[in-house]
A = this chain, B = another copy of it.
């Protein structure tokens, strides 16, 4: 199995990307192809004396798509950018999966332009794992599409369920529809029309509406929503975590000796919790619905996040998520036809 890794995308590229690849190559049964500026990648690789013993190669690409660039224009123009070349390696069959921590917009665009969608899938969606302390909840769509139609949310439910099962090993994942109340009659037009579609699906375990609080309380495995809502929830969580951390640091700094001592003694315990809820432990977010494995890593990915993303890509390919989606799409259609007869 070969993974194309965009070495130039992300806030800490190429340093943390290369370091993550080094770690992953020692853990997972795959070959990693670092795509990007050969000299810059080499300089990072040279920091690891043993790297030549690992299954890591470099694929040169001259350009880089920057964060501020217009996604479609950049992907069209910069044909030799690390992001575009990495996707091409999957298209040509040279690699089995692509991972990028670069611009999300450019990633989605390149995935659509180069790899295309699975037949029957109207829109790809970003599925982000949210740590709950005792596992993860998969939130999708977390930002690929806005103004989704009920049909799109239905496809998200199908794909999210398969991903949760294949990559996180959840048996019969509980799928919930993100809403403002438990009752079937609650919500906006979008979710009101989506509910009966999910209720009538045969390949998912739909448990009804999920509320905002359910995203982290462990009562649901897959939460389906529009990308507008999902993106706001995700960024809100990030902001809240930062605000809390800042407040705690401020308070300890301004606290007396006992507070400082307490913080010191409690630090190992808090670190354990931080590890449990660290998104970096759960790898990137797959772009589900693309005809190939495309993993979007967080822009501020460190080497741990990159290593996790590579692990996720390996599972994705090994469990053949794309074929599973295709099969279940057919099953849903077939069963729907059976009912109509």
Which residues on A are within 8 Å of B, measured CB to CB? 132-133, 143, 146-147, 178-180, 187-189, 211-217, 225-229, 231-240, 242-244, 246-248, 251-252, 255, 258-259, 261-270, 272-273, 276-277
Contact = CB atoms under 8 A, between A and B. Distances in A.
B265 A262 contact: yes
Given A261-B265, A265-B259, A212 B189 contact: no
A258 B265 contact: yes
B133 A246 contact: yes
Contacts of A143: 180
Given A229-B229, A266-B266, 15 more contacts: A146-B187, A180-B227, A187-B228, A213-B239, A216-B243, A228-B229, A229-B232, A232-B233, A233-B233, A240-B240, A247-B276, A248-B270, A251-B269, A251-B272, A262-B262
A263 B261 CA distance: 10
Contacts of A268: 255, 259
Contact of A259 (B189, B251, B269): B269
Contact of A255 (B227, B234, B269): B269
Contacts of A239: 211-217
Nearest to A257: B265
Q: Closest 4 interchain pairs by CB?
A: A262-B265, A213-B239, A212-B235, A262-B266
Task: Give the secondary structure class of A's interface.
Answer: helix
Contacts of A235: 180, 211-213
26 contacts: A133-B244, A133-B246, A147-B189, A178-B232, A187-B228, A188-B228, A212-B235, A212-B239, A215-B236, A215-B239, A215-B240, A216-B239, A217-B242, A228-B229, A229-B229, A232-B233, A233-B233, A233-B236, A255-B268, A259-B265, A259-B268, A259-B269, A261-B262, A261-B265, A262-B262, A263-B266
A262 B255 CA distance: 14
Contacts of A232: 178-180, 211-212, 225, 229, 233
Contacts of A211: 232, 235, 239
A136 to B, nearest CB: 12
A243 B188 contact: no
Give the residue among A226, A236, A247 with the most B Cβ atoms within 10 A: A236
A216 B240 contact: yes
Given A233-B232, A233-B236, A259 B252 contact: no
Nearest to A191: B228
Given A212-B238, A240-B216, A259 B248 contact: no
Contacts of A215: 236, 239-240
A263 B276 CA distance: 19
Given A237-B236, A240-B237, A269-B255, A146 B188 contact: yes
Contacts of A262: 261-267, 269
Give the residue among A238, A243, A248, A258 with the most B Cβ atoms within 10 A: A243
A178 B228 CA distance: 10
